[in-house]
Amino acid sequence: MLDQIADSIYFIESRSFDSNITYIKSGNHEILVDTGTGLYSSALDRDLQTQGSSLESITDVVLTHCHIDHIGGVVPLLEVGSPKLYLHKAEAESINSGDMSPTLSDTFGADLPLFKIDVILEEGSLIDFGDIRLKVFHTPGHSAGSIVMRVEGSGILFTGDTLFPGGSFGRVDFPTGDPLKLVESLRRISEMEFEIGLPGHMSAMKHDARRSALTSYQMAKNWFNVSG
């Protein structure tokens, strides 16, 4: 079910292994932030139809990182359309060279075909969709290419699998996970100005999300025994 966060931003909270997905309409752009595994693409299509959209209508897919529960839904989208794919260079370069191992598809027994990332993101990239502009911050720790994105001028931050509500944070036991980098990424996020946090899993942080970020940062410091 779509939860309207702002005029053109709709959050779909997952009830399964899938990541959360956000749908954004901005001018001629119809954007998804993350795509889930793809196992529930028909349900996503039904959700999109409530806003006059569909899988075929999606023009852009921005990925907070490349794990299968976030990127797998790219496959059904490419079967019915030709959306432009965005991913941080730490993971995009591997995928574009034909190495799909960073997606963890083999780990979870998924058959993920090769595809290409169209737009390679870096720290400070600004993705301009007209009325909606997304500022990229590289936040490794959960994975090498994890990012968070601020919707400029809105107080909304996409937090991916770096920051979750309730003092939670992303796991670091998959390949390229790094607890020290995660703690540093959480510190950066805790210093950002934002009110609403849209995570890769769990519920949206709709009020005072920065306070939640501070709690997660402190919890991660304690959990990983990081001083300072």
pLDDT above 90: residue 15: no
- Contact in structure between 211 and 217 (CB atoms under 8 Å): no
CB atoms within 10 A of CB 154: 16
Q: 56 to each of 73, 80, 117, how far by Cα in Å?
A: 13, 5, 18
Output DSSP code: residue 19. P
What pLDDT sits at residue 204?
A: 98
What pLDDT sits at residue 106?
A: 84
Cα gap 33→201, rounded to integer Å: 12
Q: In the predicted model, what is the mean pLDDT of residues 133-137?
A: 98
What pLDDT sits at residue 41?
A: 96
What pLDDT sits at residue 227?
A: 84
| Domains located in the chain, CATH noted | 2-223 (3.60.15.10)
CA angle 200, 11, 223 (to 5 degrees): 25
Helix (H) or strand (E) holding 97: none
Instruction: Kindly state the greatest CA–CA separation across the chain.
Output: 50
What pLDDT sits at residue 58?
A: 98
How remote is the C-alpha of 37 from its chain's centroid? 13
Closest C-alpha to 55, from 33, 70, 28, 76: 76
In the chain, the N- to C-terminal Cα span, in Å, equals 42
What's the mean pLDDT when you consider all of the chain?
96
Output DSSP code: residue 3. E
What pLDDT sits at residue 57?
A: 98
Q: In the predicted model, what is the mean pLDDT of residues 125-149?
A: 98
pLDDT above 80: residue 180: yes
Question: pLDDT band at residue 109, thresholds of 50, 70 and 90?
Answer: confident
What pLDDT sits at residue 110?
A: 79
pLDDT per position as a tens digit, 181-204: 999 999 999 999 999 999 999 999
Cα-based torsion angle of the residue sequence 71, 205, 25, 200 in order, rounded to the nearest 10 degrees:
0
Question: pLDDT band at residue 107, thresholds of 50, 70 and 90?
Answer: confident
Residue 218 falls in which region: left (phi positive, over 0), alpha (psi -120 to 50) or beta: alpha
Tokens standing for residue 75: 């496959």
pLDDT per position as a tens digit, 37-72: 999 999 999 999 999 999 999 999 999 999 999 999
pLDDT above 90: residue 18: yes
Cα gap 105→102, rounded to integer Å: 8
